């Protein structure tokens, strides 16, 4: 299994309406990208200062499955229209899950 984790810090002009739009759009992806095995996302709950604002964690059977997700047109649309314009900082990692 491959896990993809991406964290965002939003620009200061980020709004609650934009958060809802991102969450709604991300919530549709498991229904259209068949290689997604597990998909979770959400806003930081504010326990520690300095955290990122939002995270997406997705699991795939293999690297090829991740690449299908990464390059899927609907995923790319969500990034281009709803996420990228409001990113201050982005950090991501893909790693192999081990037993």
Residues 13-58: pLDDT tens digits?
A: 999 999 999 999 999 999 999 999 999 999 999 999 999 999 999 9
pLDDT for residue 99: 80
Residues 6+ apart with CB under 8 A from 75: 29, 33, 69
Q: Where are the domains of the chain?
A: 2-96
3.40.640.10, 3.30.70.100, 3.40.50.300, 3.40.470.10: CATH of 2-96 = 3.30.70.100
Q: Which is nearest to 44 in space by CA: 30, 55, 35? A: 55
Using the structure block, give the residue that is written with the tokens 């795939």: 60
Kindly write down the DSSP assignment for every residue of the chain, as one continuous string. Answer: -EEEEEEEEE-TT--HHHHHHHHHHHHHHHHH-TTEEEEEEEE--SSSTT--SEEEEEEESSHHHHHHHHH-HHHHHHIIIIIGGGEEEEEEEEEE---
Q: What is the mean pLDDT of the chain?
A: 97
pLDDT in tens, 59-77: 999 999 999 999 999 999 9
């Amino acid at each position: 299994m491959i896990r993809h984790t991406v964290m965002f810090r939003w620009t200061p002009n980020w709004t609650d309406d934009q958060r809802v739009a991102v969450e709604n759009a991300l919530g549709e992806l498991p229904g259209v990208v068949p290689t997604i095995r597990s998909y979770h996302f959400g806003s930081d709950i504010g326990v520690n200062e300095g955290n990122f604002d939002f995270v997406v964690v997705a699991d795939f059977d293999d690297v090829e499955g991740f690449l299908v997700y990464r390059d899927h047109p609907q995923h790319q649309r969500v990034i281009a229209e709803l996420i990228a314009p409001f990113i201050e900082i982005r950090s991501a990692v893909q790693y192999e899950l081990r037993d």
